[in-house]
Amino acid sequence: MTTINTPHDSGHDGHHDEGSYLTPVEGGLVTNIIRWATTIDHKKLGMMYLVAVLIMFFLGGMMAMAVRAELWSPTRVLADGTVTGQLFQWGDGAAQGYENFNRIFTIHGAVMVFLVIIPGIPAVLGNFLLPLMLGAKDVAFPRLNLLSWYIYCLGALFAVASLIGSGVDTGWTFYTPYSSSHASNEYGNVVLMTSAAFILGFSSILTGLNFIVTIHKLRCPGMGWFDMPLFIWAMYATSIIQVLATPVIGITLALLIYERLLHVGIFDPSLGGDPVLFQHFFWFYSHPVVYVMILPGMGVVTEIIAVHARKPVFGYRAIAFASLGIAGVSFLVWAHHMFASMGELASAIFSALTFFVAIPTAVKVFNWIATLYKGSIAFTTPMFYALAFLFLFSIGGLTGLPLATLATDMHLHDSYFIVAHFHYTMMGGTIIAAIGGLHHWWPKMTGKMYNERVGILGCLLVFVGFNVTFFTQFFLGTQGMPRRYASYIDEFQLLHQISTVGSFILATGMFVHAANFIHSLIAGAKAPPNPWGGLSLEWNTDSPPIEHNFHHEPLLTHGPYDYEDVYPPHCDPADYPLPEPLPEGNSTH
Amino acid sequence: MNMLSLTLAQQGGPLTRLIFGTRGASDLARDTDYVFMWILWFCIIWFVFLMGLMTFWVIKYRRRPGVPMQRSPHHNTKLELAWTILPSVFLGYMFYIGLEGYLSKLVAPTNAETIDVVGTKWDWLITYDNGANPPDKTVIGGKPDAPVILIPVGRPVQFRMTSRDVLHSFWIPDFRFKFDVIPNRYTSFWIEAEEPGEHIIFCAEYCGDKHSEMLGQLVAVPAEEYDRLKASWTVDLSLPPVQLGEMIAKNNGCLGCHTTGGGVSVGSTWHNAWGNEVPIEGSTNIPADDPLAWDNYIVESITNPTAKIHQGFPPVMTSYAGVFDERELSWLVAYITSLSEKAAPPAQETPPADEQAEQEDQGEDSNPGEQ
């Protein structure tokens, strides 16, 4: 990578008067902190989201480790007397039974879903990259963007407050009537946690709305809809779901709080309500949101594969329409989470609809693999993560088939098979894609290169650890291990122990990445503007980008994946890693 | 399911055993295994093909100095249509066999015997069609008193299920089926055991603190033995009220939250409760040595538990109004009274085994009378 020449330095030296967005302003630390806290720069907000999401990821990850530690043995591990027991001891109610464990897995689930995976890629990479990829100076509503970051932080505070209070033991799904009338509401923790999800919804809606308007209105001259990078298409589909579905969860959780505090019968049968109604409301949001979680991951992987294989994405339009297709069908399959509590007709209809969502997803996988054909594939950390994504997400997707099939789902529902399945899609899909994307755009975001060997080592540890942890859980599920069990029968111990060992390998891999990133910030080599030879617009500016993104308004002359046309034909890509710089835009607005 | 697939399912190869741990306990259970294995092989073939292709291309087209870039088509409509339509056909078949297997296990034959199952935190309460409750308990995992549910071999039984408090789910992995147990409605499914044997029952829907101890054991016994035992469990009204009350308390899950030996649990202990003063949240206390006030307090606490909350305990008990008739309530009052030293004559019957266990872990709770 050292041979890369930087086209900007030759031709645009005269315009380098503007500093990078990371350059501190004069006036000391306090001034700089205030500058960051009041910034409306999408890049700074992306970085602020990154910090916030990583803190929450660490919290959720530690809870996952506690869950795996507890499951090392069939009986209690995190006993009251031990140090870990003290650590996870909340309130009086936790003195008996398994409430500690129940609180830990609830926090793990709620934090990972509401605070990490849903906002993760859109808020961090989306915020940072969307205007850059479109050739815009910022998102359409920069102030709204700042507001949504503060709303996110407020939601996070509510979640952490409920944790400090005494934890919540409802599971992240908050199923009624347990959550509304039975779970302990010491210090108002249940209300706090559901309020957190309610508040975070607004952050989601605002970000989604912002992105939709930005994509419609701020594409640079020459960029039509089908000239956009596919990451933008994925963000577009995601944003539509966020705007349409999130209000439903807001209202549902408000009703739950209403019932909890005022005892108005909505979901609790003893008050005259219906608990299954809550499940319908809840999944009407939470199923589309599964695609809010995975679509951005798919977008990231599409970019990584195209750039690191130097190949036009096979079937661009198929992938773009598959994103929209998934977004549309995702609204029609919510009740497949409830086959075990509905009538036959509803189950049959939703089972059939669920198979429809499998098709566009499969089409995407075929397209990604076909993109590799005759490519020039670089063995970099992002590429290994993209390949890991294809491997893990394929398993995640295929194991969805016996869950969409009614006969087998009635056995596998609420078992560890489900746990393994959604970790393969949510973590093996979204989180793996996010880590790959973070490596891919790290040079752009920070202006520093990371250590490639350490990155690949981390990727290997994460990949191996992940499979050891979760592949065993498929067998636990088919053999009859129910989810959310603090204790279990002795027969399951071996598989649980293998899973726990895997989770520690996985965590080690994460720490390797963290160390690599920290080292990169302190001592990493300076990143060139286009270290991977990408063709989308974010590679057409400095690393890190200047405050206003581009020195000149970009004018699009080639598509994001036109490697075969931009690179001289029949040449060695290693010798010609970079495309011609874009011609300077003449203000033709 | 057609004959061929049934035959295949009956065999259940070593891979099926590895995956499910146990052989399916009925034809329909093994049919589910067959559906699962069919999907599994479909997945394995696709997965190996895709990952093989990916690995092959990644190695073949790795970036090497001196190797020129190659052009290739950017899309291929025929190929893309093929890989959209072909899997759809398989998915359609998958949907069909899934629906068939699901309906066959859900819709009971008309001659099925109904067994009532009531889920309650954290126990399964069973009532047979003659009103009898199975009295046996067993140890499974962390649960010392898991209910033993008898079913006859070779006769279909249908579980009619409802919940008294929160959502539960009645899962018998050996029969490859579960269904949610919901407070305001009946749900049901049916099974038929083909040979005598024991099968574990899990609660599969998260229901709070001791969710992982909400276990049970399903025991299939020869039909004659089943009929004999079931008849022998009908309630003998000639027993003393205290004993009848104890039976009702056990069969209705009262002892899941209330100890009879003075130990701390979710609810207050019944040991030495009757006749002692009880502090009430935001109201006047239940006075000591006032038998009538105490009897009223017990009945009210069963039928309207949140009316008077014992200080220091969460208001989590659900109402049992309509569950017990007047006679049964009087038995419960007699039983709870008998557990107090203030009652005359003092109850000095041999406490059951689980009660002794609870007495051991009384811990710092040195003055159980307070409860």
Phi, then psi, of B180 in degrees rounded to 5: -65, 145
Give the residue-averaged pLDDT of B292-318: 84
Cα Rg of chain B, angstroms: 28
Nearest CA in chain A to B19: A475
Give the residue-averaged pLDDT of A134-141: 94
Q: Does the pLDDT of residue B356 top 80, yes or no?
A: no
Q: Does the pLDDT of residue B36 top 50, yes or no?
A: yes
| The predicted structure's pLDDT at residue A87 | 52
Q: Which element (helix H / strand E) includes B161?
A: strand B157-163
| The predicted structure's pLDDT at residue B135 | 83
Q: Does the pLDDT of residue A6 top 80, yes or no?
A: no
A359 shares contact with chain B (CB less than 8 Å): yes
| The predicted structure's pLDDT at residue A17 | 62
In a mutagenesis test of the B interface, which of A401, A412, A421 is the best target, namely the one with the most B β-carbons within 10 Å? A401
| The predicted structure's pLDDT at residue B8 | 52
CB contact under 8 A, B51 and A413: no
- The pLDDT confidence band at residue A77, using thresholds 50, 70 and 90, is low
Give the residue-averaged pLDDT of A65-85: 72
pLDDT digits (tens, 9 = 90+) for A91-131: 444 445 577 888 889 999 999 999 999 999 999 999 999 99
Q: Is B241 helix (H, G, I), strand (E, B) or coil?
A: helix
* CATH number of the domain within which A291 lies: 1.20.210.10
Q: Does the pLDDT of residue B232 top 90, yes or no?
A: no
Q: How far is A93 from chain B (nearest CA, A)?
A: 9
Q: Does the pLDDT of residue A235 top 80, yes or no?
A: yes
In a mutagenesis test of the A interface, which of B59, B75, B85 is the best target, namely the one with the most A β-carbons within 10 Å? B75
In a mutagenesis test of the B interface, which of A406, A494, A575 is the best target, namely the one with the most B β-carbons within 10 Å? A406
| The predicted structure's pLDDT at residue B188 | 94
Arithmetic mean of pLDDT over chain B? 84
- The pLDDT confidence band at residue B13, using thresholds 50, 70 and 90, is confident
Q: Does the pLDDT of residue B1 top 50, yes or no?
A: no
Position B239, amino acid? L
| The predicted structure's pLDDT at residue A348 | 95
B131 contacts: CB under 8 Å, gap ≥ 6:
B234, B235
More confident residue, A195 or A181: A195
Please check whether residue A209 lies inside any domain of the structure.
yes
Please check whether residue A5 lies inside any domain of the structure.
no
Q: Does the pLDDT of residue A582 top 70, yes or no?
A: no
CB contact under 8 A, A182 and B166: yes
Chain B contacts in chain A segment 74-103 (CB below 8 A): 74-75, 93, 95-99, 102
Q: How far is B274 from chain A (nearest CA, A)?
A: 25
| The predicted structure's pLDDT at residue A89 | 52
Picking from B42, B65, B166, the nearest residue to A574 by CB comes out as B65
- The pLDDT confidence band at residue B80, using thresholds 50, 70 and 90, is confident
Residues of A in contact with B208 (CB under 8 A): 102, 169, 178, 182-183
A18 shares contact with chain B (CB less than 8 Å): no
Q: What percent of chain A has pLDDT over 90?
A: 65
Give the domain range for residue A181.
22-566
Task: Count structural domains, chain A.
Answer: 1
| The predicted structure's pLDDT at residue B72 | 84
Chain B contacts in chain A segment 377-396 (CB below 8 A): 377-379, 387, 390-391, 394-395
In a mutagenesis test of the B interface, which of A395, A411, A493 is the best target, namely the one with the most B β-carbons within 10 Å? A411
Q: How far is B177 from chain A (nearest CA, A)?
A: 5
Q: Is A549 helix (H, G, I), strand (E, B) or coil?
A: strand
What are chain B's domains?
A: 3-106 (1.10.287), 113-232 (2.60.40.420), 241-370 (1.10.760.10)
Residues of A in contact with B80 (CB under 8 A): 315, 318, 363, 366
Residues of A in contact with B84 (CB under 8 A): 359, 363
The span from the CA of B7 to the CA of B1, in Å, is 10
Please check whether residue A15 lies inside any domain of the structure.
no
| The predicted structure's pLDDT at residue A412 | 96
**A267 CB-contact burial (10 Å; exposed 0-12 / middle 13-18 / buried 19+):** buried
pLDDT digits (tens, 9 = 90+) for A200-210: 999 999 999 99
| The predicted structure's pLDDT at residue A88 | 53
| The predicted structure's pLDDT at residue B354 | 47
Position B181, amino acid? V
**A464 CB-contact burial (10 Å; exposed 0-12 / middle 13-18 / buried 19+):** middle
Please check whether residue A575 lies inside any domain of the structure.
no
CB contact under 8 A, A567 and B212: no
| The predicted structure's pLDDT at residue B238 | 80
Structure tokens at B146: 């898991």
Picking from B98, B142, B203, the nearest residue to A351 by CB comes out as B98
Please check whether residue A585 lies inside any domain of the structure.
no
Q: Does the pLDDT of residue B3 top 60, yes or no?
A: no
pLDDT digits (tens, 9 = 90+) for B213-226: 899 999 999 999 99
Chain B contacts in chain A segment 298-327 (CB below 8 A): 309-318
Q: Does the pLDDT of residue A85 top 60, yes or no?
A: no
The span from the CA of B115 to the CA of B127, in Å, is 6
In a mutagenesis test of the A interface, which of B63, B100, B269 is the best target, namely the one with the most A β-carbons within 10 Å? B63
Q: Does the pLDDT of residue A588 top 70, yes or no?
A: no
The span from the CA of A303 to the CA of A298, in Å, is 9
Please check whether residue A583 lies inside any domain of the structure.
no
More confident residue, A255 or B262: A255
Would residue A367 be called left, alpha or beta, if left means φ above 0 and alpha means ψ between -120 and 50 degrees? alpha
CB contact under 8 A, B183 and A401: no
ipTM above 0.90? no
The span from the CA of A136 to the CA of A122, in Å, is 17
- The pLDDT confidence band at residue B316, using thresholds 50, 70 and 90, is confident
A25 shares contact with chain B (CB less than 8 Å): no
Please check whether residue A16 lies inside any domain of the structure.
no
| The predicted structure's pLDDT at residue A440 | 96
The span from the CA of A352 to the CA of A404, in Å, is 8
Please check whether residue A427 lies inside any domain of the structure.
yes
| The predicted structure's pLDDT at residue B12 | 64
Alpha helices in chain B (DSSP H): 3-11, 14-20, 27-60, 77-106, 223-232, 241-251, 291-303, 326-338, 353-360
> Which of B19, B326, B67 is closest to A376 using CA atoms?
B67
Please check whether residue B177 is in contact with residue A410, taking contact to mean a CB–CB distance below 8 angstroms: yes
| The predicted structure's pLDDT at residue B368 | 39
| The predicted structure's pLDDT at residue B347 | 45
| The predicted structure's pLDDT at residue A513 | 97
pLDDT digits (tens, 9 = 90+) for B154-208: 999 999 999 988 999 999 999 999 999 999 889 999 999 999 999 999 999 999 8
More confident residue, B77 or A515: A515
More confident residue, A553 or A197: A197
- The pLDDT confidence band at residue A23, using thresholds 50, 70 and 90, is confident
Give the residue-averaged pLDDT of A453-482: 96
